[in-house]
Amino acid sequence: MLAMNYRGPFRVRAAHKPYPEILHPGDAIVRVTRSCICGSDLHLYHGLVPDTRVGMTFGHEFIGVVEEIGSSVQKLAVGDNVIVPFNVACGTCAFCKQGLFGNCHESNSQATAVGGIFGYSHTAGGYDGGQAEFVRVPYADVGPTIIPDWMDHDDAVLLTDVVPTGYQAAEMGGIKMGDTVVIFGAGPVGIMAAKCAWLFGAGRVIVIDHLEYRLDFVRNYAQCEAYNFKSMDDPVLFLKKTTDWFGADVCIDAVGGDASGSALQTITGKKLLLQAGSATALHWAINSVKKGGIVSIVGVYGPTDNLVPIGNVVNKGITIRANQASVKRLLPRLIDHIQAGRLNPKEIITHRVPLEEVADAYHIFSAKLDNCIKPILIPPSARK
Amino acid sequence: MESTPNEYAHINGWGVDADPTNEPTHPIKNYTGDDHQRLNWERPPLQAVTVEVLKSNERPNLTAVFGTSSPPSGLSGIIRRYAFKSSESEYGHWLPLLLADRINVVEGIVDDLRQGHIPNIFAEKGWKADWKYNREGLVKNLLVGVVVTTAVIALLSRKKKKSIR
């Protein structure tokens, strides 16, 4: 079968790999019909995530058709069209029982700080991902959700990560009616967080980024204010001023490891790999939120240390909420929103690329070429 | 001033998920106490270990399922095994892993050549897309690369000549 194959930082190719096997009675094999490249895949692609091994297949955002099932799978049948959440979750451990599907304790032997994630390095369990024609899906009775007949599959594929992550970012912000919400990062997750902030009753939504095409997009798509931090002397000062010198009620960091904006953090994080990426967005979020406000973090940070102004967190009495999205918990509500027309995820898809051209797709997304917001990959078997 | 739904009539679904009791504490609100049972939940059947799987030293056993992509091998594998002797909170864990990743890239190229495959670095870096959407930048990068390489070669050959004298 054809699959994306990681060869090193900034180098990937489409290559043939063995067809995946059922390795556990709860497994299913899914024939992929669409997969996305996620902003957090770029952290792997840029070589920022430890234990990303040559030969791995990335891709934690995918949908497909159930091709085979293991002996204990009961809720799926061959031929079902399924949304596969990016978390690999057992559904039975203490954390899954609490709804923390992103923190499953039975899916990642290689780290305890993060649960299993498809195609996201060995630090997240060493699973091959869905940027392929077929993929092994463990715990098939827990994560995969049947795609409703009425749902456009372009909407469905975005329910695997980007929509739930944006929604959970807003949810963790504890937004109250009329709150001012600032979102750092106008990538797909930041865009979705802006859109979802309104559902929680935000009174004002502000997005900060440095790429004009993304700011234009989010302004139109999420009907919010959007500003370029490159045109500001100091984004924190700007945000204080525009919030009556109080600070925002809620700040959302939707950037994480690849954040731009600070030379020191870029050198120590992205270049020297001595801290987990560039924490610039988090720094700005902590300093821009009001006293007693809430900072919600969904931006991906690697596992090593970083230069976080933790003293300001203490002094300001800030609540910080952060997590990987627990996709399964959020899916029913998000499916309702799509059916009611409140969310229209597929509108963020800007590029549809054959899987064979995966290297070009990664480069376009990484280098922000051709006004790319969200690329999806279509395997050859899904184009017949 | 209080916000009213009329102000936001242009936003489909404004406030539908607003809940005055919403606290940013989910899933703490759903705390079950199950984690006091530690590892005593009913574990799913365990996946058979058919490849080498490295295990965090912060847990007693392998998880019930695990990925089998790219098991550790070669020099990078030796370094990875060493890294897993330290906990996730140590630089001694993460920095060796990053080193192993870089060595693994060279191993990947050697492996390709051993299998008679010459990697097409230009294609793998997606330069076709650069040629299409960023031609000026690509040409500039190539020129800079050529100039720097030429300068380095010239400098090295000059030093060589001097040392021959």
A contacts of B37 (beta carbons < 8 Å)? 94
pLDDT digits (tens, 9 = 90+) for B30-79: 777 777 777 778 899 999 999 999 999 999 999 999 999 999 999 999 99
Residues 6 or more apart whose Cβ sits within 8 Å of residue A331:
A83, A85, A145, A159, A164
User: Is residue A377 very low, low, confident or very high in pLDDT (cuts 50, 70, 90)?
Assistant: very high
- Cβ(A191)–Cβ(A371) under 8 Å? no
pLDDT digits (tens, 9 = 90+) for A280-310: 888 899 999 999 999 999 988 776 656 666 6
| Percent share of chain A, pLDDT over 70 | 96
Scan residues 99-138 of A and list those with Cβ closer than 8 Å to B: 99-100, 105-113, 116, 122-123, 125-128, 138
Scan residues 20-39 of B and list those with Cβ closer than 8 Å to A: 20, 22-27, 30-32, 34-35, 37
**B99 CB within 8 Å of a chain A CB:** no
Average pLDDT in the B150-158 region? 89
The distance of B76 to chain A (nearest Cα, Å) reads 9
Q: Which of A187-201, A323-337, B25-39 has the lowest mean pLDDT?
A: B25-39
Residues 6 or more apart whose Cβ sits within 8 Å of residue A43:
A49, A256, A257, A258, A277, A300, A302
Q: What is the pLDDT of residue A252?
A: 96
- Closest Cβ–Cβ partner in B35, B58, B125 for A10: B125
Scan residues 25-84 of A and list those with Cβ closer than 8 Å to B: 25-27, 47, 50-57, 72
Q: What is the pLDDT of residue A259?
A: 81
Residue ranges of alpha helices (H) inside A88-176 are 94-97, 153-158, 162-172
Estimate the crossing angle of helix A212-222 against helix A188-199, to 10 degrees.
30
Place of tokens 């004298």: B165
What average pLDDT is seen over chain B?
A: 88
Q: How far apart are CA A255 and CA A257, in angstroms?
A: 7
| Percent share of chain A, pLDDT over 90 | 80
- Cβ(A311)–Cβ(A141) under 8 Å? no
What average pLDDT is seen over chain A?
A: 93
Give me the interface pTM, i.e. the ipTM. 0.89
A contacts of B63 (beta carbons < 8 Å)? 105-109, 116, 125
**A225 CB within 8 Å of a chain B CB:** no
The distance of A232 to chain B (nearest Cα, Å) reads 26
pLDDT digits (tens, 9 = 90+) for A109-163: 999 888 999 999 999 999 999 999 999 999 999 999 999 999 999 999 999 999 9
Count contacts between A and B (CB, < 8 Å).
Answer: 248
A contacts of B100 (beta carbons < 8 Å)? 51
The distance of B144 to chain A (nearest Cα, Å) reads 18
Q: How far apart are CA B134 and CA A330, in angstroms?
A: 39
Scan residues 229-268 of A and list those with Cβ closer than 8 Å to B: none
Do B34 and A97 make contact, defined as CB atoms within 8 angstroms? yes
Average pLDDT in the B2-30 region? 79
Q: What is the pLDDT of residue B28?
A: 67
3-state secondary structure A29-71: EEEEEEEECCHHHHHHHCCCCCCCCCCCCCCCCEEEEEEEECC
Q: What is the pLDDT of residue A135?
A: 98
**Cα B27 versus chain centre, distance:** 28
Sign of the four-CA dihedral A163, A166, A167, A168: positive
Q: What is the pLDDT of residue B2?
A: 56
User: Is residue A200 very low, low, confident or very high in pLDDT (cuts 50, 70, 90)?
Assistant: very high
Q: Pairing state of beta strands A116-117 and A11-16?
A: unpaired
A contacts of B30 (beta carbons < 8 Å)? 98-99
Residue A47 scores a pLDDT above 60:
yes
pLDDT digits (tens, 9 = 90+) for A326-346: 899 899 999 999 999 999 999
pTM for the model stands at 0.92
